[in-house]
A and B are shown apart, each in its own frame.
Chain A
Amino acid sequence: MSGDRPDAAIHTRGLRRVYGDAVAVHGLDLTVAEGESFGFLGPNGAGKSTTIGMLSTLLRPSAGQAAVAGIDVARRPDEVRRRIGVVFQDPTADRELTGWQNLSFHARLYGMSRRDVHAQARVLLEMVGLADRGDAPVGTYSGGMRRRLEVARALMHRPRVLFLDEPTTGLDPQSRAQVWQKLHELGRQDGVTVFLTTHYLEEAEHCDRIAVMDHGRLVAQGTPHELKSAIGADVVRLRTGDDREAAKAIRERFGLDAEVGPDGVRVRTADGARWVPRLCAQLTSGVTSVTVTRPSLDDVFLHHTGRSMRDS
């Protein structure tokens, strides 16, 4: 029996990749629904690119299996390739060729007809906001423009699943927002499944669902909201005259979990806002500032790995 799964855009069971002695991806179990935007979050070296490599048929899995667009990646790689578009981490557009020529060359590799190439290239250049720069050599593009061209190129042959490896690395915030807007449109309008890796927390917030990966293993998956709710508590940060004394008082008087960190006293509790007046009124060491934050994805990462995303 094959690993084909017609109902899911991406489906893996026990997917594993080994380089010599090093295990890059430990038995990965993942299901991504059609039309979903799925973010793969983790620090550099977590195994994200290796996973994309296997799902896009460029790397052979060492064990386990994966189906993309319902087709087994190891058994019928060509069928998978027809149905996927890939935007790689490093720039892969041909700098000497124009944007238009890049799209056309790519489409020809997929056996598209001249007429189809023409129509599709026009639509996509328009979509990524490069309609007026199509005839300029890619060497003259900015980083953001090149990235958007690569997204257009990956979509030329109308893939069902779009893989993006760190799509906005090295882009300024404005370009990043532009790329994201295009990706959202894709999912909504065309039902294209978007699978991306990122080590930016802000980027993961955009996804319908995310999986947190660390050292080649999935440590959590769900919607950003679910993941944050699962670790429950809000964080109340207090600046006081004497942080150590205040933390001790909070623990003893309110029975709350309080720690002293470089940014002051950290109190984890459900419904943090309601505690603020009581804390301010009853702490003798003098509260100078209070902030209440809902859990961030960084907190999610910290919760599951014991490290901060920003440190790793």
Chain B
Amino acid sequence: MLESTAERPGRLTTRPAGRRAAELAALLALCRREMTRLVASPVQTGLTLLNPLLYFVVLGTGLSGMLGSASGTGDYLTYVYPGILLMAVQMPALNAGMSIVRDRETGLLRAVLVAPVRRATVLVGKCLGSTATATAQGGLLLSFAGVAGLPYDPLLLLALLGELALVAFTLTAFVTLAAVCITRIETFQSALGVAMLPLFFLSGAMFSVAGLPWWLAALTHLNPLTYAVDALRQTVAWGTPGGALPPGPDWGGWAPPLGVELMVMCALGLAALALAARRFSRAE
């Protein structure tokens, strides 16, 4: 007797333990592929880093002179450095989303989807791999810490790298979610292009959140990147001898401590990734 396949598929017969190990192996393979790609195209990596470097060296130095003469306090290069680090992970995160959309459009993704791996694993693997490459690229900019007046203290650099990883994860997760929802590459490109610039400028990366008109301040407080920048800034202030902490976001007079900010980032990233994986798991 034959019966219809329109009903729900039965449980898989593979043992759960072996299954979990297989998914993990696939996850690692997906991560490794992103790293291999990064190493395989050093020119692309260099170009991606050029943008934040230009902002740092040209805009930072220019504004530093102007602001220094106007206010006479603090070094603008130090102030803007966390924002530059953010920018350095933002671009690769955006590229990761672009490659998801493109791979899906060109059918490249199907070669992976036809493997005995859950769709969710494929997406999470891609996201984590891209997080790793984005972190590596942001990490390269840590070599410019001295220019920003930071000491080359291993502990400080390690802390910044860890935070960059978290920021990269959250950003990549959001971009991944967008990439899952938007299937046309042109739409994705313009949508993310439009979203990224205001998100960056309203994060306190370039100018202080304090003293903004109320509506701008409200937007800034809703922006996840605000907490990323402030977390990096708190770490810089902590790790730099005589470092002063510029005013960051406050929740009704209470400035969220570093731990809370990192937790907010982490929670947002996980939520975005879970949503993306869920949406992506629907079979065609």
Are B4 and A58 neighbours in the complex by a CB distance under 8 Å?
A: no
What's the nearest-Cβ distance from chain A to residue B100, in Å? 14
Task: Using CB atoms, name the residue of chain B closest to A78.
Answer: B116
- B37 contacts chain A at the CB level, 8 A cutoff: yes
Are B2 and A65 neighbours in the complex by a CB distance under 8 Å?
A: yes
What's the nearest-Cβ distance from chain B to residue A91, in Å? 8
- Hey, what's the 0/1 contact readout for A61-88 against B, CB within 8 Å counting as 1? 1111110000011111111011010101
Complex CA gap A61/B4 in Å reads 10
Complex CA gap A88/B12 in Å reads 26
Task: Using CB atoms, name the residue of chain A closest to B121.
Answer: A109
CB neighbours (8 Å) of A79 from chain B are 12-14, 116
Query: Which residues of chain B (101-119) have a CB below 8 Å from chain A?
Result: 106-108, 110-117
Interface-lining segment among A100-108, A184-192, A195-203 = A100-108
Most chain A beta-carbon contacts within 10 A, residue among B22, B111, B112: B111
Task: Using CB atoms, name the residue of chain B closest to A79.
Answer: B13
CB neighbours (8 Å) of B2 from chain A are 1, 3, 13-14, 65
CB neighbours (8 Å) of A241 from chain B are none
Most chain A beta-carbon contacts within 10 A, residue among B9, B22, B26, B114: B114
What's the nearest-Cβ distance from chain B to residue A165, in Å? 10
- Assign chain A's interface to a size class: 35 or more
- A96 contacts chain B at the CB level, 8 A cutoff: yes
Are A92 and B108 neighbours in the complex by a CB distance under 8 Å?
A: yes
Are A76 and B12 neighbours in the complex by a CB distance under 8 Å?
A: yes
Query: Which residues of chain B (1-23) have a CB below 8 Å from chain A?
Result: 1-6, 9-10, 12-14, 21-22
Are A111 and B25 neighbours in the complex by a CB distance under 8 Å?
A: yes
Are A109 and B40 neighbours in the complex by a CB distance under 8 Å?
A: no
- B240 contacts chain A at the CB level, 8 A cutoff: no
We find that the number of chain B residues with CB closer than 8 angstroms to chain A is 37
- Hey, what's the 0/1 contact readout for A143-177 against B, CB within 8 Å counting as 1? 00000000001000000000000000000000000
28 A-B pairs in the complex with CB atoms less than 8 angstroms apart: A2-B10, A3-B3, A58-B114, A60-B283, A64-B5, A65-B3, A73-B5, A74-B9, A75-B9, A76-B9, A81-B114, A81-B116, A84-B114, A86-B111, A88-B107, A88-B110, A92-B108, A92-B110, A96-B40, A97-B36, A97-B37, A108-B26, A109-B29, A109-B30, A109-B116, A110-B116, A111-B22, A137-B40
Using a CB–CB cutoff of 8 Å, the interface residues on chain A facing chain B are 1-3, 13-14, 56-66, 72-79, 81-82, 84, 86, 88-90, 92-94, 96-98, 101, 105-106, 108-111, 137, 153
Q: Which 7 A-B pairs have the closest CB atoms?
A: A108-B29, A74-B5, A92-B111, A109-B115, A81-B116, A90-B107, A65-B5
Known A78-B14, A106-B115, A109-B115; further 16 A-B contacts with Cβ < 8 A: A1-B2, A3-B2, A3-B5, A58-B284, A63-B4, A75-B9, A75-B10, A76-B12, A76-B13, A79-B14, A84-B114, A92-B107, A92-B111, A94-B37, A108-B32, A111-B26
Using a CB–CB cutoff of 8 Å, the interface residues on chain B facing chain A are 1-6, 9-10, 12-14, 21-22, 25-26, 28-30, 32-33, 36-37, 40-41, 106-108, 110-117, 283-284
